[in-house]
A = this chain, B = another copy of it.
Amino acid sequence: MAAEVVLGVDIGGTFTKIGLVDRGGSIHYEDEISTRGYETIESFIRALHSHVMGRLEEIENSVTLLGIGVGAPNGNYYEGTIENAPNLAWKGKIAFVKLMEDQFRLPVLVTNDANAAALGEMLFGDAGDLKNFLMITLGTGLGSGLVVNGDIVYGHDGFAGELGHVLVYDHGRQCGCGKRGCLEAYVSATGIKRTVYELMAEENFESDFREIPFSELQPKHITARAESGDPIAILAFERTGFLLGRALADTVAHISPARIFIFGGLARAGKWIIDPAKKSMEEHLLPVYRGKIDIVPSALLDRNIAVLGAAALIWKRLDQESGD
């Protein structure tokens, strides 16, 4: 019998990753196409369709495609739209699901990448038995997927879970959203890089960072320098973890999750970010929550969580329809 699969699509600013994912989380085929290469959403969807269909024809006897789940910046689950995504060329409010369903003639669901990651952890990672948990994605920005009573929190308008934009400091760092002092201006790959330069101004420690222009520093190099004992790198992680933990304590006061998963480039720093975050979270928690909640790397840290999570959108819907 042909394996039943779902197409997971992760739309990023530069590339769009795709994969055919079965209910067990095995990826039968994965690939990527350009995002930037298509000026209109219609041309992008046509290209995606011909790419996927071409591949399906090659393997048509071995799989049955049930639907398409999509993770996209500013993807709105309720409305099936992508709305004013800052990193995409397609502006305004795009009727994405309708356009996709017209092209593919299959059920399509969309949400943002952090919600998709939370669903991926639920169906294919370590959150399987948890009805209340939090996913934090630490990439260029800080994304979040909140799970309450077993479901993603979409909120009234489909845009819930923007923890990257809770307030850290009044009149703080300029954020890409137009506000100042948002969490993601401090806790993200770009946030920790800003902290490295802040610390070079504040402290007199010798550091290799003093030889590197701001524009050239890759955030991933900060972890390597912390490992080799650079005091600026170590302090940068401590300060970043402190602010992450302080913000997470407030999130716990909202939804009291069983566990907090972190994912993304900065999550690969492991103990450097997790240890100070845990310490700070515990210090800031109301006593009733203390000692109960772990911060752990996603089980899918080394797998394609974005594609798995996008596919999970459809698999979760199918599970619900079958009464699971």
Contacts and interface: CB of A to CB of B under 8 A. Distances in A.
A92 to B, nearest CB: 14
Contacts of A131: 156
A52 interface: no
B155 A256 contact: yes
Task: Please give the count of copies of this chain that the complex contains.
Answer: 2
Given A177-B286, A179-B286, A255 B146 contact: yes
A253 B162 contact: yes
Interface in A166-218: 166-167, 170, 177-179
A167 B250 contact: yes
Contacts of A158: 256
Interface residues of A, number: 45
A254 B256 contact: no
A244 to B, nearest CB: 13
A284 B179 contact: yes
Interface string A72-85: 00100000000100
A160 interface: yes
A29 interface: no
Contact of A287 (B132, B178, B255, B257): B178
A58 interface: no
A34 to B, nearest CB: 27
Nearest to A83: B288
Interface of A: 74, 83, 130-133, 146, 148-149, 151, 153-163, 165-167, 170, 177-179, 246, 249-251, 253-258, 284, 286-289, 292-293
